[in-house]
């Protein structure tokens, strides 16, 4: 099986990961940090807003079972892409709406989906989601991985 990576920031990474974990074709997920300028950031470093990182969920998926376009649809549905550096009660650049692209094809698909959503009448405000090249991914500690599932045990 050939798998592919996708990385999304849509607010708190716990909820983002939980939304993607339930999709058929998603093989593995993890949460961590991407898009900053600080090596090996901790959760507290990121929360302090000194690193520039976003909280992200990294998704490993089987493109024979789920497409990147389907992952993008989920991404748009699980958060407010018109809210700059805020999702619900969570505030700060670490909660920004961002798509980190691993390939030129992902970048093209993300830009097209963003433009289509912006032209639609779904939102009264412009889409502020950033689209950036994937960068170093810093895995969050084990207690943050599959956080919601661990809380149900």
Query: Which residues are catalytic, by number?
Result: 12
Provide φ and ψ at 44, rounded to 5°. Answer: -65, -35
Q: Are 6 and 61 in contact (CB under 8 A)?
A: yes
DSSP state of 144: G
Q: With b meaning 16 or more CB within 10 Å and e meaning fewer, what string describes 85-94?
A: ebbeeeeebb
Tokens of 94: 């670490």
Outline where the chain has alpha helix (H): 13-21, 43-47, 68-77, 104-119, 147-152
At residue 23, φ and ψ (nearest 5 deg) are: -80, 130
Identify the CA nearest to 132 among candidates 40, 5, 12, 8: 8
């Amino acid at each position: 099986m050939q798998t592919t990576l996708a990385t999304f920031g849509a607010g708190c990474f716990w909820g983002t990961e939980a939304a993607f974990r339930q999709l058929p074709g998603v093989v593995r997920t993890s949460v961590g940090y991407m898009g900053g300028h600080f090596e090996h950031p901790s959760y507290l470093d990121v929360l302090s807003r000194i690193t520039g990182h976003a909280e992200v969920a990294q998704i490993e998926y089987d493109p024979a079972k789920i497409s990147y376009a389907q992952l993008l649809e989920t991404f748009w549905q699980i958060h407010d892409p018109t809210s700059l550096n805020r999702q619900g009660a969570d505030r700060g650049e670490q909660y920004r709406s961002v798509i980190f692209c691993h390939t030129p094809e992902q970048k093209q698909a993300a830009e097209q989906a963003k433009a289509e959503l912006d032209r639609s009448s779904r939102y009264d405000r412009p889409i502020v989601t950033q689209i950036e090249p994937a960068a170093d991914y810093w895995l969050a500690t084990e207690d943050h991985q599959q956080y919601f599932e661990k809380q149900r045990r």
